[in-house]
Amino acid sequence: MLSTNPITAQENKAATDSKWWKEAVVYQIYPRSFKDSDGDGIGDLKGIISKLDYVKSLGIDAVWLNPIYTSPNDDNGYDISNYREIMADFGTMEDFDLLLKEMHKRNIKLIMDLVVNHSSDEHEWFKQSRSSRDNPYRDYYHWWPAEKGKPPYRWSFFDVNSDAWKYDAQTNSYYLHYFSQKQPDLNWENPKVRNEVYDIMRFWLDKGIDGFRMDAFQFASKDTSWPELPKGFEKNIIKYYGVGPHLHEYLQEMNREVFSKYDIMTVAEGAGSSPEDALLFVDPNRKELNMAYHFESVDIGKHVKDFGLVKYKEIFSRYDKTFKDKGWLSIFLANHDQPRMVSKFGNDTPEFREISSKMLSTFVMSMRGTPYYYHGDELGMINIRFDSIDDYHDVDTRNKYFGLKNRGGDLKAFLEEQKQTARENGRTPFQWDTTANAGFTTGTPWLKVNPNYAIINAEAQEKDPNSVLNYFRKLVQLRKENPILIYGKYTLIDKDNPDVFAYTRELEGKKVLVVLNFSDKNVKINTGFNIKNAKVLIANYNNLAKDGLLRPYEAIIYKL
Ligand code: GLC
CB 32 within 8 A of CB 69: no
Separation of 216 CA from ligand 1 center, angstroms? 6
CA nearest neighbour of 342 among 537, 520, 466: 520
Is the minimum distance from the CB of 217 to ligand 1 under 6 angstroms? Answer: no
Q: Annotated active-site positions, please?
A: 215, 269
pLDDT value at residue 547: 67
Q: Side chain identity at 309, as an amino acid letter?
A: L
- Is 128 found in the same domain as 107? no
Distance 78 CA to ligand 1 centre (A): 6
* 178, 337, 394, 398, best to mutate for ligand 1 pocket (most atoms within 8 Å of CB): 337
Q: How far, in whole angstroms, is CA 327 from its chain's centroid?
A: 18
Question: What does the pLDDT look like over 271-320, one tens digit per residue?
Answer: 999 999 999 999 999 999 999 999 999 999 999 999 999 999 999 999 99
Domain boundary among 149, 176, 203: 176
Section 99-122 average pLDDT: 98
Q: What atom in ligand 1 is closest to the CA of residue 118?
A: 12
Residue 311 and residue 198 share a domain: yes
pTM: 0.96
Shared domain check, 131 and 107:
no
Domain co-membership, 441 together with 385? yes
Question: Residue 522 maps to which CATH number?
Answer: 2.60.40.1180
Query: Cβ–Cβ contacts within 10 Å for residue 129, how many?
Result: 27
How many Å apart are CA 316 and CA 452, to the nearest integer? 33
- Residue 343 domain-assigned (yes or no): yes
Q: Are 220 and 247 in contact (CB under 8 A)?
A: yes
Gyration radius of the chain over CA positions: 24
Measured distance CA(202)–CA(508) in Å, rounded: 40
90 falls within a domain: yes
> Does the beta carbon of 253 sit less than 6 angstroms from any atom of ligand 1?
no
Give residue-wise pLDDT tens across range 325-345. 999 999 999 999 999 999 999
| Percent of residues, the chain, with pLDDT higher than 90 | 94
The CATH number that applies at residue 413 is 3.20.20.80
In a domain, 84, yes or no: yes
The 10 Å CB-count burial string (b at 16+, else e) for 449-459 is: bbebbeebbbe
Q: 162 and 25, same structural domain?
A: no
Closest ligand 1 atom to the C-alpha of 335? 8
Closest CA to ligand 1's atom 9? 337
Axis-axis angle for helices 275-282, 247-257 (nearest 10): 20
Q: Which atom of ligand 1 is nearest to the CA of 336?
A: 9
Pick the closest to residue 554 from 534, 538, 533, 535 (CA basis): 538
Q: Report if residue 183 sits inside a domain.
A: no
Judged against a pLDDT cut of 60, whether residue 4 lies above it is answered with no
Q: How many CB atoms lie within 10 A of CB 425?
A: 25
Distance from residue 215's CA to the centre of ligand 1 (Å): 6
CATH of the domain at 170: 3.90.400.10
Residue 45 sits in the same domain as residue 146: no
In a domain, 185, yes or no: no
Instruction: Return the number of other C-beta atoms located less than 10 Å from residue 267's C-beta.
Output: 25
- On whether the CB atoms of residues 337 and 269 are closer than 8 A, the answer is no
Q: Is the CB of 295 under 6 A from ligand 1?
A: no
Is residue 22, in this structure, part of any structural domain at all? yes
- The total number of structural domains in the chain stands at 3
Which phi and psi angles does 36 have, rounded to 5°?
-95, 130
pLDDT digits (tens, 9 = 90+) for 5-40: 444 445 445 545 899 999 999 999 999 999 999 999
- 467 burial class (0-12, 13-18, 19+ CB within 10 angstroms)? buried
* Torsion sign, CA atoms 404, 407, 413, 415: positive
pLDDT band at 179 (very low <50, low <70, confident <90, very high): very high
Across 321-337, b (16+ Cβ under 10 Å) vs e yields ebbeeebbbbbbbbbbb
Is residue 111 domain-shared with residue 131, that is, in the same domain? no
pLDDT band at 527 (very low <50, low <70, confident <90, very high): confident
The band of 449, judged by pLDDT with boundaries at 50, 70 and 90, is very high
